[in-house]
Chain A
């Protein structure tokens, strides 16, 4: 089962500059563990004390995971995961 994960510029030091990487897992937390094995250090930038870091947003098929179960959000084959830093929106 392959899930595409888009990595923001600021975290590409952990992915050898790759804009997107592929991983697997039945939940977001499993996926992050899986990514960590190929890209050491990435997990620590995403997760702190068992929760997503304050300034990290993760979307599964465009929906913010904080409203779908957080790290326990379930994943299926073909899902698209996007990681973005939280920034100020237009106003």
Chain B
């Protein structure tokens, strides 16, 4: 496959079957390999679309500075696009993210502003909003509320899956900005409304939920609960267990959040099997495991890994 530039090659990722993890020939699980994008994560789709829409609408002009709160992947994607298009980029990132993510951001030329570990991404959003006020000339693309984020999946991820797997019954993805789930769900609600849309939400350690009061809670502006059929909270233990199974049984080396998504997908598979239904369940492999090697998620016992992930933003 040939493209004019790296940016033109975003999307068009493979959908692969998981013959060993699928419970029966009638209940099949399929992995959408989003780690095959240019910077290695699904966020290339949202980042590129947000940049393109901002350029088209005239918000982003040559010489502009992009600002974004991110726990890693979106920042890395934006930094790559910014480098190729000639923008400066500032990323606000929580302290408790893996060192590889900071290294990668630096490699693509992003400037990093750290936000406190307690409060996780909530704090990153808060700090970024404050910086945006202090620097009105900076352009915050704001993935949690930017419709272009969901649009990337409505126009790309969803139709790709539909074309490869017309018999799809379930779509399972991680819940962060909610962009993937919102965009994909909107597409299937229009084109194949029988598809059940399932969210897997990472459940972190207590530090990440360390708000000062409940009013500091956060629900992404993009989120529309009517587009989701069920939502599961998956802790680090299940995520680590599943991400290791994916490697052991199917040879796929994925990031920890993908373990959480697979856990929810296999839950749906077990339910379909028990009900005697046929199912084709597509789930998202959000990124590869490379950026998380230093977290220790892939070595030692599951107990050790769970302990090491406590307090970290592992997804």
Given contacts A86-B217, A89-B177, A90-B72, contact A8 B122 (CB under 8 A): no
The number of chain A residues with a CB under 8 A from chain B is: 26
User: Is A63's beta carbon under 8 Å from chain B?
Assistant: yes
Contacts of B219 in A (CB 8 A): 54-55, 86
B59 vs chain A, min Cβ distance (A)? 20
Determine whether the beta carbon of B121 is less than 8 Å from that of A90: yes
Determine whether the beta carbon of B233 is less than 8 Å from that of A84: yes
Tell me the residues in window 72-91 of chain A with beta carbons closer than 8 Å to chain B beta carbons.
Answer: 82, 84-91
Q: Mark A35-76, 1 if CB is under 8 A from B, else 0.
A: 000000000010000000111110100111011100000000
CA distance A42 to B115 in the complex (A): 31
User: Is A9's beta carbon under 8 Å from chain B?
Assistant: yes
A-B residue pair count with CB separations less than 8 angstroms: 111
The number of chain B residues with a CB under 8 A from chain A is: 51
Name B232's contact: one of A63, A84, A86, A87 (CB within 8 Å): A63
Determine whether the beta carbon of B71 is less than 8 Å from that of A90: yes
Name A55's contact: one of B43, B201, B215, B220 (CB within 8 Å): B215
Determine whether the beta carbon of A90 is less than 8 Å from that of B202: yes
Determine whether the beta carbon of B144 is less than 8 Å from that of A66: no
B195 vs chain A, min Cβ distance (A)? 16
Name A59's contact: one of B73, B74, B119, B233 (CB within 8 Å): B233
Name A91's contact: one of B71, B210, B225, B229 (CB within 8 Å): B71
A71 vs chain B, min Cβ distance (A)? 15
Determine whether the beta carbon of B214 is less than 8 Å from that of A67: no
Contacts of B119 in A (CB 8 A): 87
Given contacts A10-B211, A56-B214, contact A87 B206 (CB under 8 A): no
Determine whether the beta carbon of A87 is less than 8 Å from that of B43: no
A25 vs chain B, min Cβ distance (A)? 21
Q: Max chain A CB contacts within 10 Å: which of B72, B210, B215, B217?
A: B217
B10 vs chain A, min Cβ distance (A)? 17
Contacts of A8 in B (CB 8 A): 206, 209
User: Is B143's beta carbon under 8 Å from chain A?
Assistant: yes
Determine whether the beta carbon of B209 is less than 8 Å from that of A10: yes
Q: Which residues from chain B sit less than 8 Å from chain A, CB to CB?
A: 43, 69-74, 97, 119-122, 124-125, 143-144, 174-177, 199, 201-203, 206, 208-220, 225, 228-235, 257, 313-315
List the 3 closest pairs (A to B, CB-CB), nearest first: A55-B217, A89-B176, A88-B121
Q: Which residues from chain A sit less than 8 Å from chain B, CB to CB?
A: 8-11, 45, 53-57, 59, 62-64, 66-68, 82, 84-91
**21 CB < 8 A contacts A-B:** A10-B212, A11-B214, A54-B217, A56-B214, A59-B233, A62-B232, A62-B233, A63-B230, A63-B232, A66-B231, A85-B209, A85-B216, A85-B217, A86-B217, A87-B120, A88-B122, A89-B201, A90-B72, A90-B257, A90-B313, A91-B74
